[in-house]
Structure 1
Amino acid sequence: MALFSKPIVVHNTCYEIGHGWTPYCVQASLDVSKIVFQEAFKLYGSLYLLAAILRKRGKSYFVKRLLPETLQSSIFLSVNGTLFLTFFCLWRKLAGCYNFYNAFICGIPACTMSLLIERKDRKILGGFYCINSAFLSAYCGAFIAILMERKSRRGLLAVYLTNLALETGYRMAKYRGLVKPVPHGEVLLFSIASAVYFYFFRRESGLPQSTISSLQYIVGSSESPQSATSPGHSSNNNEEPQRPRTGVAVLDKMVARLEAGPRHRLCQHRNGCVLYVLKGCYRLFGMGYAIQAGVKLLSALTRLHKQPRLLFDALFNKDNFRLGAFLGSFSALFRLVNCVLRWVRNRDSSFHGLLSGFVAGWSMLWYKSTTIALYTATKMAEMLYVKGIHAGYLPYIKCADILIYSVSTAVAFHAAVLEPHTLRPAYWKFLVRVTHGKFCHINRRLLDVFGTNSSLMYPDYWPTYDPRFTSIKPPTS
């Protein structure tokens, strides 16, 4: 193969490629460490504070745990970013060059081989000795950093980075023309994941209680067998409150008719099936609309005094309606299909959860999101794997969350260096934010030889180098 006989390599220094703002590797790592820690502390501080308020944590949490947890997560993120650059310089110095493909072909064994072989023998190995600095640097940095984070957060981070890596891999393949987009592919994936989740939701002890509580919040507790068999539960005692009087006689009569409407004997909800479906729709629609409007409003707060119109734009943005329609129709379709199946089949079963979950998943047509679809699918895969372990069909892999996080982070950082246009835009903005733009300072014009259009996002960028340390000039067009 040509890859091994004559690999494409770049012999520029790590100063010329990775940290053009300073020629000193140690200084570059210290700069990144300071910046990332500052941004991480602000990020995690506000995030953990908001989460504590929403969860109504006690005073002892704010006094004893909030600051230590914020510091621990901030150190984790800071170490991750710092060690990435540190290993980037280290691998470059050890290998003597920069190569694109070998991390994906040889992985960690290639790294081990490069450290054991003398410099004079490297030509014999061809493609093996030129390590992909981005992939391996990110892997080593992420592996060490995740050990500093709380164990309770490692699984969440692994799931998030896994779906990011999967999306990045798909974007890479699509950009290369290796795959063709499937129409509504993210919606189909979300529907399949929803079907599996709600199949187990309708089974006794099919899901952890925390997951059941989350799903009950979305679709109501009436469809959960746990609530149907709990002590004191009856068709007149579930999650639906007494309806308030509106003060409008016509509307009150209409609601009263719907309340007294037909309800199948196996339905656990108190009111008629039609009102049951409608309540699920408007409750989740309002919640979705409020969430999206709140996010838009928070992002516009710093500019409101200069642009008051942003308040109107935030409250009446079309994305608010789309998220509300997505959540509202999801709940309504799930309830509707379950009720219809009970009327048609005159029985209730966990199979109804499978079908209703799949149908409800298509509500994502209102609010297409690859991120939500991949996250749901990844959590589904995790759930099935755990069930396979408990059933004795699959092996238990110790520290799987650490390994998965490290590999997934390596894939994402590889893309961030060599082809940032394939990264999820939100994640790229995050990387730029937490490094104060240092990720943009990589000289990707030197990496264009790999054929991935590395400089596509920054075609004209060229660092201002210190002539005492390099004499390279921008390539002529």
Structure 2
Amino acid sequence: MIVHSKFVVGEFVPRVLGPFDAVDYTCYEAGHTWDSSCVSTWIGIFRGGMIYSLKLYTTFYLLGAVWKLMSKETDKKKLAKNIFLSILRSSVFLASNAASFIFFICAYRKIFGKFHGVFAAIAGFASSFFSLMLEKKSRRGLLAIYVMNHAIESVFNMAVSRGYVTPIKNGQMYLFALTNLAYMSLFRGSSLPPYIQNLFEKVLGSEESKIPRAAVNQRQNQVVNPQSQMQQSLMKAYKYLMNLLNAVGPRVPACQHQDSCSAYMAKSAIKYFSIGYVLQVLLNYRNIFRAFVQRKASLLVKSLSNFQLAKFMCAYVSLFRILNCLLRWLFGRDHPEIFGGIAGFFAGLSSKFFPNISITMYAFAKLLDIFCMKAVAHNWLPYFPNFDILVYSLSLGVLFHDALFEPQNIRPSYWSFLKGLSGNHFPLIFRKLLDKYGTKASKFYPNFVPNLDPKNVKTAEVKQILLLHGKWP
């Protein structure tokens, strides 16, 4: 039996529709409510997206250029030209992605004469597939991994909102720990891609690689800079502590590092606690600046007493080092992949000090990419050309679906990004009409009813809703 939609106590109460059920709204009534012209909407979205993208990519590429400018061999004119072209190309790609999404929504309505529950996912897939071809090939893989981690999180949130799964307390921490288990097993076996392997070697020490690099005596090439009396005192105290730990600390024969195990751990603890604290202060620069301007001592103290990132970095590196040393001592030899995985898991639990879903999900998505590449290399999986375009398109199909039907399931930072990219037009979609699909589409904007032009409103149901909210003449 078909249950028709009805009005109860002045409110529109829709029945729940399936993903392939159709509604008769036009693209103006449900989608681009701010402009009745489809062509004008596409142009406006592209223009707003270009402005937003130019700001975003100018910062992104200029920061990347700083490192290249440090090299004396860099051709500055060529670098400037490449940066300009890269900013322009990436901005066109991103703006096209937003504009073509609206284009495919309108095209879907023109082709089928109706909207189904899957229209946003299809439009998102198509727009992303064609727009990514405008971007450089070297960036496609990174973009695919970036949006994939957002899509995975959104799918999980969708499952939670539907009651299919129940979130685990501190689940993010355990996911990071398990992801780190895999990374550290590969790292200790020197099996990671070279650029990731080098990054971990710089942080955790090349001594922990299966093929450790030759130790370099940095004192021989160290440049002595003038130091204040306080700096000299701190260096003396640091050297005294290291000498003491090297003298009395245990040395495990299976370990590759030159210092005693206790000094080996202490060095990492002091170094990365300091680095983490400095980074945290830099991240809080706005609050610190405001504290000075407004002369708020309490805000300054709060900003300078945040040790979350410092504790995370200190615990992460120190736990990894000391657990590897402990396991080598217990077994009398080194098992790089096994010991690396065990130490990596417990080191990953240090994310409790600095929980960050963006870092966790990106690391997880990148790990999936590494495993896929290894599977292809061993002929366990077939090679698909342009697989990064497919992953990017599928991921954004999910995210664009959520942007229309359930924005509450998108990570807040990414929802802000989508709003900015659309020229802040995404909030103007008439989501009350999409509540029929049972996704709580209007949860973020429960009271929003657009001011539609009566001349272009075709659907009787939309006229009734506008009349109820005083938006019909």
Q: How does 1:304-383 map to 2 (within 5 A)?
A: 307=294, 309=296, 312-313=299-300, 316=303, 320-350=306-336, 351-383=338-370
TM-score (norm 1): 0.84
Q: Tell me by how many angstroms 1:148 deviates.
A: 0.6
- The alpha-carbon distance between structure 1 residues 234 and 304, as it changes in their structure 2 partners (threshold 3 A), is closer
Q: 2:102 aligns with which of 82, 85, 91?
A: 85
Cα distance in 1 for partners of 2:455, 2:293 equals: 46
CA contact (8 A) 1:300 1:311 kept: no
Q: Tell me by how many angstroms 1:18 deviates.
A: 1.0
1:278 aligns with 2:266: yes
1:21 aligns with 2:34: yes
State the Cα deviation string for residues 212-271 of structure 1 (Å, max 9, x = none). 111122212221133x2x4xx259679x98998536876654332013332222322222
Q: Tell me by how many angstroms 1:313 deviates.
A: 4.9
TM-score (norm 2): 0.85
Alignment correspondent of 1:218:
203
State the Cα deviation string for residues 155-194 of structure 1 (Å, max 9, x = none). 1111111111110000011111111002222222211221
- The alpha-carbon distance between structure 1 residues 37 and 300, as it changes in their structure 2 partners (threshold 3 A), is farther
Q: 1:62 aligns with which of 72, 79, 85?
A: 79
CA contact (8 A) 2:287 2:300 kept: no
Alignment correspondent of 1:106:
none
Cα distance in 1 for partners of 2:77, 2:298 equals: 37
Q: Secondary structure at the residue paired with 2:233?
A: coil
Q: State percent identity of aligned pairs.
A: 32
CA contact (8 A) 1:281 1:329 kept: yes
Alignment correspondent of 1:431:
418
The amino acid that maps onto 2:158 is: M
- The alpha-carbon distance between structure 1 residues 434 and 250, as it changes in their structure 2 partners (threshold 3 A), is closer
- The alpha-carbon distance between structure 1 residues 462 and 304, as it changes in their structure 2 partners (threshold 3 A), is farther
1:97 aligns with 2:114: yes
Cα distance in 1 for partners of 2:288, 2:421 equals: 20
Q: 1:451 aligns with which of 426, 438, 447?
A: 438
Alignment correspondent of 2:57:
44
The amino acid that maps onto 2:34 is: W
Q: 2:256 aligns with which of 261, 268, 278?
A: 268
CA contact (8 A) 1:33 1:82 kept: yes
CA contact (8 A) 1:293 1:314 kept: no
Q: Secondary structure at the residue paired with 2:334?
A: coil
**Gap regions ≥5 residues in structure 2:** 3-15, 225-230
Cα distance in 2 for partners of 1:221, 1:185 equals: 31
Cα distance in 1 for partners of 2:329, 2:467 equals: 72
Q: 1:474 aligns with which of 458, 466, 471?
A: 466
Cα distance in 2 for partners of 1:397, 1:223 equals: 35
Q: Secondary structure at the residue paired with 2:323?
A: helix
- The alpha-carbon distance between structure 1 residues 281 and 248, as it changes in their structure 2 partners (threshold 3 A), is closer
**Gap regions ≥5 residues in structure 1:** 101-131
Cα distance in 2 for partners of 1:268, 1:420 equals: 51
State the Cα deviation string for residues 268-304 of structure 1 (Å, max 9, x = none). 2222211211221232223233333323326887x78
Cα distance in 2 for partners of 1:338, 1:78 equals: 48
Q: Secondary structure at the residue paired with 1:222?
A: helix
Cα distance in 2 for partners of 1:236, 1:264 equals: 21
Cα distance in 2 for partners of 1:85, 1:322 equals: 42
**Matched pairs, number:** 439
- The alpha-carbon distance between structure 1 residues 458 and 317, as it changes in their structure 2 partners (threshold 3 A), is farther
Cα distance in 2 for partners of 1:249, 1:382 equals: 46
CA contact (8 A) 1:236 1:269 kept: no
Alignment correspondent of 1:119:
none
Cα distance in 2 for partners of 1:242, 1:353 equals: 35
Cα distance in 2 for partners of 1:80, 1:310 equals: 46
Q: Tell me by how many angstroms 1:420 deviates.
A: 0.5
CA contact (8 A) 1:139 1:409 kept: yes
Alignment correspondent of 2:12:
none
Q: Tell me by how many angstroms 1:421 deviates.
A: 0.6
Q: Tell me by how many angstroms 1:465 deviates.
A: 1.5
Q: How does 1:198-277 map to 2 (within 5 A)?
A: 198-204=184-190, 206-226=191-211, 228=212, 230=213, 233-234=214-215, 246=233, 253-260=240-247, 261-277=249-265
Q: Tell me by how many angstroms 1:6 deviates.
A: 11
Q: 2:147 aligns with which of 154, 158, 161?
A: 161
CA contact (8 A) 2:48 2:422 kept: yes
Q: Secondary structure at the residue paired with 1:463?
A: coil
Alignment correspondent of 1:128:
none
